[in-house]
Amino acid sequence: MTAHIQFLASDSLKGRYPGTSENKMVVNYLESEFQKNNITPQLQEFNAVLKRDSSTVKTWNIIGFIEGNDPRLKDEIIVLGAHYDHLGVKDGQIYNDADDNASGTAALLEIAERVSVNRKSLKRSVLFIAFGAEEQGLLGSSYFVNHPSFSLKHIKLMINMDMVGHLNEQQQLYMGGCRNLSRRVSVNAALGKTK
* Residues of this chain that bind Zn ion (CB under 5 A): 100-101, 162
Minimum CB separation of residue 161 from Zn ion in Å reads 9
Taking the C-alpha atoms of residue 58 and residue 157, their distance in angstroms, rounded to an integer, is 29
Q: Of the candidates 68, 44, 188, 191, which has an alpha carbon nearest to the alpha carbon of residue 127?
A: 68
Residue 14 or 83 having the CB closest to Zn ion: 83
Helices 21-36 and 104-117 cross at an angle (nearest 10°) of: 20
Residues whose CB is less than 8 angstroms from the CB of residue 178 and which lie 6 or more positions away in sequence, other chains included? 186, 189, 190
Minimum CB separation of residue 165 from Zn ion in Å reads 11
Residue 37 or 101 having the CB closest to Zn ion: 101
Minimum CB separation of residue 119 from Zn ion in Å reads 28
Check the CA dihedral 35-45-126-23 and report its sign: positive
Taking the C-alpha atoms of residue 66 and residue 152, their distance in angstroms, rounded to an integer, is 16
Q: Of the candidates 70, 62, 71, 74, which has an alpha carbon nearest to the alpha carbon of residue 31?
A: 62
Residue 97 or 116 having the CB closest to Zn ion: 97
Residue 37 or 136 having the CB closest to Zn ion: 136
Minimum CB separation of residue 163 from Zn ion in Å reads 6
Residue 167 or 190 having the CB closest to Zn ion: 167
Minimum CB separation of residue 164 from Zn ion in Å reads 10
